[in-house]
Structure 1
Amino acid sequence: MMVVRRAKSDGGGTITFFLALGAGRQTCRLATTYQTQKQAFSYFQKHRTEFERIARTRLTSGELEDGIVVLSML
């Protein structure tokens, strides 16, 4: 899995990660509410398995936005 961090102007950000699907990859984007990317990335790393499970479920059910699985932190 590869992870890319991006900051947003409102203090939140997005973490983009890729699910391995055999030889292919699926782009997933996680919107964060943390004030720093370090906090968001730390939370993501602790709960990565759960985010991957949710992303796979959404992919299977066809819940995509422009071909990307979109998730958000509560």
Structure 2
Amino acid sequence: MPKSVQIVPKTVSGDLQTITFVLAIGTVRQMCRLETTFRTQNQAFSYLHKYRTEYERVARARLARGEVDDGVIHLTMLGR
């Protein structure tokens, strides 16, 4: 089955950048929220795109373990 990710920017007040994306697993769509300390969303998006496969793997593992909070998988990445 094809797998895809749709990435949508979402800005949060404060020092964190948040990127919301939908992980598609067959016909199931799972909302994921990735928080980062990068200063700009462009930096956060660049990092996410570079390591997208790894974040998808982590999100799928958390979904399999039932680590879903209010319908969202929360992930965190650190920026420089």
Cα distance per residue 1:11-64 (max 9 Å; x no partner): 321111111111121111101111100000000000000000000000000011
Unaligned runs of 5+ in 1: none
Structure 1 runs, 4 residues or longer, greater than 3 Å off: none
Cα root mean square deviation, aligned: 1.0
Unaligned runs of 5+ in 2: none
With normalisation by structure 1, the TM-score equals 0.92
Q: How much identity, in percent, do the aligned residues show?
A: 54
2:66 aligned with 1:68, yes or no? Answer: no
| Residue correspondences, number | 74
Match of 2:40 in 1: 36
